[in-house]
Structure 1
Amino acid sequence: MDLTNIPIMAALKERLNWLNDNQAVITENISQADTPGYRAKEMEKQSFSGLVDELSSGGASGVQMRAKNARHLDVSGGSVGQSRVMEARGREESPNGNSVVLEEEMLSLADNQMKYGMVVNLYKKNLGLLKKALGKGGGQ
């Protein structure tokens, strides 16, 4: 049984992939905190409810993030899958031109980790419900 045929499971998988890519962007920002001229990056926000709607209407095979602005960076082939990464706006620059604020990045990292844990728990609960519906236990 392919779980990605079930819209909520496919949406949860897409969310986990986005959160994983977001983690990569945040950690890259942290690692470049002392690099002169480095501009902090961030992922384009993902609308989870819109993702569920799109998947339930039959778009499960090719969900991709879209750039809303021509200046968004395309990182195809990079460490971040098919999601869009853009320069973080509204960040204060240090005298050497670096726009990474470690406190903000650490808060983003903690928030990302909490969201990832929540989605993993939702995935487990939905899997348990499916097992129970099929009569294979699934009690947690």
Structure 2
Amino acid sequence: MFDKLEIFRMAQGLAVHAGTRQAVIARNVANADTPGYRAQDIADFADTYRKTGDDMRLRTTRAGHLPDAETGLRAAAIREDDVPSEPNGNSVSLEEEMLKAAETKSKHDLAIAVYRSSLGILRTSLGRAR
């Protein structure tokens, strides 16, 4: 029943996205000295997450009320960064990867905070203590 609440699905999606991006960043750092390795990244969460299912679509009250919106969860495909490479063909910048890792950690922390807050609100509404 509660697994269909959009806020929980979104928090889970953000946490999974952050974990996937952190794995890509770790692979980049591990290959920082590999000749010819191209740095990779995945698309932003906002670009990949779209509401799915009939129950999540906006409902119209009359024809032409709302324009059709694109729905669906797009895959977070790995893409190569457009960064100039070193003479050996490697395009990994450790400074950039550290910035991406810090940003990704904050997104994961946000997902956990949203989940905890929503769970607390749900428990309060059901009359249960935290």
Q: TM-score normalized by structure 1? A: 0.74
Residue identity over aligned pairs, in percent, reads: 31
Question: Please, which of 80, 84, 92 is the counterpart of residue 87 of structure 1?
Answer: 80
Q: Give the number of equivalent residue pairs.
A: 115
Q: Which structure 2 residues correspond to residues 1-140 of structure 1 after superposition, within 5 A?
A: 1=1, 3-47=2-46, 51=50, 53-54=51-52, 56-57=56-57, 64-66=73-75, 83-89=76-82, 91-138=83-130
Larger radius of gyration: 2
Equivalent residue letter for 2:57: S
RMSD, aligned α-carbons: 2.1
- Matched residue of 2:45: which SS? coil
How far apart are residue 133 of structure 1 and its match? 0.5
- What are the ranges of 5 or more consecutive residues in structure 1 without an aligned counterpart? 67-82
Assess if the C-alpha contact under 8 Å between 1:15 and 1:48 holds in 2.
Answer: no
Equivalent residue letter for 1:47: A
Determine which structure has greater relative contact order: mean sequence separation of CA pairs < 8 Å that are 6+ residues apart, divided by chain length.
Answer: 2
How far apart are residue 19 of structure 1 and its match? 0.6
List, as ranges, runs of 4+ consecutive aligned residues in structure 1 with deviation greater than 2 Å: 48-51, 53-58, 63-66
How far apart are residue 14 of structure 1 and its match? 0.8
